[in-house]
Chains A and B, each alone.
Chain A
Amino acid sequence: MSTLPSTMHAMQSWMQEALAFPQSTSSQQLEQLLEPSSRLSGTQRLAIYQRSYYLRLLKCMREQFPALCHALGEELFNDFAYQYLQALPSVSYTLYELGRRFPGYLEANRPDAGQPDEQRESWVDFMVDLARYEFQLFAMFDAPGHEGKPFASVDTADNRLLLQPCFALGNYRFPVAWYYHEVRKRNDAGFPHLERSPVALVRKDYLTHTFPLSIPEYTFLLALEANQNIETALEMVAGKLELPMNQVSSSWSKPNGIRARWITAGFFITAD
């Protein structure tokens, strides 16, 4: 029989292991460590904690990834999330971080991991991208933003436009934003087709807006995110995509063009 944990630290290490891996505990050892009640054995009493450990965390995972849960179905989602929680248990004081490593875990542990790229299952790519998008939305819900302060206006000069703090870019292999919002509307969205889907996410008035982007728009915002100024970013778009500079500039600055729409949507604040 294994040795009983004799120190407080050993006891806590033992109990934590027993919660995450219930099969790892010896019932003989357990009955020596825990008193029975008149109705339950020590093993049965510990099982209350063991059951609730995963029930509680899986519920939180479903709430952080509602669209992925919809796509996979609750049972399969729970299977993936259970394996994730066993492999990468929470190391944060806040549950907000619980799902942060889930998209990477899904990618690293995809069932077709050993296959060449062309033989990989596209549905796995969709699940990974959807998880990335959902966690980005979750993080932006409570990230530092610019609410309560003035945003840039159409009169703000280009050289004073800065991307606002609660802004993110995504470049997905599937239209995951569309799928997510179909789930939100409780529509029974089918598995979407492969379609490169760059998006910008912007929070304004505590609502996170997702803007589908064209490749030039995405390229431009990527440059701004890398701290390039507007003029340089426009030149980069023209250069990378081999577009005439006057066409790129016009798309940006024409009345009701990209500049006006994005400023109105809250993409920019004013540099000091």
Chain B
Amino acid sequence: MPEITKQAGLGLGLGLRNTHFEYILSEWPAVDWFEAISENFMDSGGRPRRVIQEVAERYPLVLHGVSMSIGSTDPLNFDYLAKLKALADELQPVWVSDHLCWTGVLGVNSHDLLPVPLTEESFSHVAERVRQVQDFLERPLVLENPSTYITFSQSNITEPDFLRQLSNETGCKLLLDVNNVYVTCFNADADPVAYLESFPSENVVQIHLAGHQHCGTHIIDTHDGPVCSDVWELFRLAWSHCNAPATLLEWDGNIPAFQECHTELLKAREYMDANGMPLPDRAGQAVSTGSVPNPLDFLVPEVMNNTVLEQV
């Protein structure tokens, strides 16, 4: 199985979103790399497929999935994995990632990233599935810590320890989502700094940044705004612990113009220098009604503007 060796120097990347296709194809902006949602392209025979082929010709690309369901007790979906492998073979991403979560069971997909109880039983289950996936894909898997809103009473392993052991035993690499650390820790009354201090940073190849909605009693991982100052500070700490991980901004709801996303991403430079000072907090704190975790609307293309009614 090939090693992941390219993360150092991959730089600052953005999530590839449909609303930015026109801009990217016309301007070829100076972003270091893109992360594409695997499921948006693995069945595509239309314009999205053409766009990602062109993007992959010009930029380093990472495939990031939301439906592998590595923590589910359903059998692995090898039809899905075959499509993911074919897409990866075609696009040659730097790596393929997904989440430490399950999305459904008994054949149903909730399309949410649901938390796994962190126990010896779940560890053995997930580790075996990671090995199977890596053997099938013939490449290491990169797994992300999810944002979570509940804590299972039966959990008796911390998430950093679970991921360290998983990475050490299977060879998978880790995607450290700093915003998810902040969200999960707030929701569970845990200390995000202690979480980061105990995270297996030596196995981190990528970092995620994103915005969230603070609801007072809990925080929702909405990816619909700029990164807040607390998360930037966690990023500074995470960056200092890791080996120059590829860093990516996710913006999935209320997506602004590409340039605004890129400007937000480039703030990361201020926190990658140990002497850099944080920028003023521009994150909006207003809570919008109906906010949902892990918004999925960006997974559904806007079709109506691509149709024409011909006259008789």
Asked if A137 contacts B303 (CB within 8 A), the reply is yes
* Known A56-B295, A94-B67; contact A9-B111, beta-carbon cutoff 8 A: no
**Interface presence of A64 (CB below 8 A):** yes
Interface size class of A (residues with CB under 8 A): 35 or more
State in angstroms the CA–CA spacing of A209 and B309 once bound together: 6
Which residues in A have their C-beta under 8 angstroms from that of B154? 11, 33
* Known A32-B153, A212-B310, A265-B310; contact A12-B105, beta-carbon cutoff 8 A: yes
The size of the chain B interface, using a CB distance under 8 A, is: 65
* Of B2-10, B44-52, B271-279, the one touching chain A: B44-52
* Of B117-125, B133-141, B158-166, B232-240, the one touching chain A: B117-125
Asked if A13 contacts B106 (CB within 8 A), the reply is yes
**Interface presence of B280 (CB below 8 A):** no
**Lowest 8 A-B CB distances belong to which pairs?**
A144-B45, A93-B67, A52-B292, A142-B46, A9-B73, A35-B151, A181-B309, A206-B47
- What are the interface flags for A193-217 relative to B under an 8 Å C-beta threshold, 1 for contact and 0 otherwise? 0000000000100111111100000
Q: A-side interface residues toward B, CB under 8 Å?
A: 7-9, 11-13, 15-16, 19-20, 32-35, 37-40, 42, 44-46, 48-49, 51-53, 55-57, 59-60, 63-64, 66-67, 89-96, 98, 137-138, 140-145, 147-148, 166, 177-178, 180-181, 183-184, 203, 206-212, 265
5 contacts between A and B (CB under 8 A): A90-B111, A144-B46, A166-B46, A177-B309, A212-B312
**Interface presence of B188 (CB below 8 A):** yes
Which residues in B have their C-beta under 8 angstroms from that of A141? 46-47, 301, 303, 306
B36 to chain A, nearest CB (A): 14
> DSSP majority for the A interface?
helix
State in angstroms the CA–CA spacing of A134 and B235 once bound together: 43
Which residues in A have their C-beta under 8 angstroms from that of B107? 91
* Known A9-B105, A12-B72, A12-B105; contact A95-B300, beta-carbon cutoff 8 A: yes
Q: Contacting A206 at CB < 8 Å: which of B121, B217, B304, B306?
A: B306
Q: Contacting B187 at CB < 8 Å: which of A37, A95, A203?
A: A37
State in angstroms the CA–CA spacing of A145 and B50 once bound together: 11
Which residues in B have their C-beta under 8 angstroms from that of A44? 217
State in angstroms the CA–CA spacing of A60 and B290 once bound together: 14
- What are the interface flags for B48-91 relative to A under an 8 Å C-beta threshold, 1 for contact and 0 otherwise? 11100000000000000001000011000100100000000000
Q: Contacting B153 at CB < 8 Å: which of A35, A166, A208?
A: A35
Asked if A48 contacts B297 (CB within 8 A), the reply is no
Q: How many A-B residue pairs have CB under 8 A?
A: 204
A61 to chain B, nearest CB (A): 9
Q: Contacting B307 at CB < 8 Å: which of A38, A96, A137?
A: A137
Which residues in B have their C-beta under 8 angstroms from that of A56? 111-112, 292, 294-297
Which residues in A have their C-beta under 8 angstroms from that of B46? 140-145, 147, 166, 203, 206
Asked if B151 contacts A207 (CB within 8 A), the reply is no
| 15 extra A-B contacts, CB within 8 A, seeds A48-B150, A52-B293 | A11-B117, A13-B106, A19-B110, A20-B108, A32-B153, A34-B151, A39-B218, A57-B111, A63-B300, A140-B46, A141-B301, A143-B45, A147-B50, A166-B45, A206-B47
Asked if A95 contacts B310 (CB within 8 A), the reply is no
Asked if B150 contacts A46 (CB within 8 A), the reply is yes
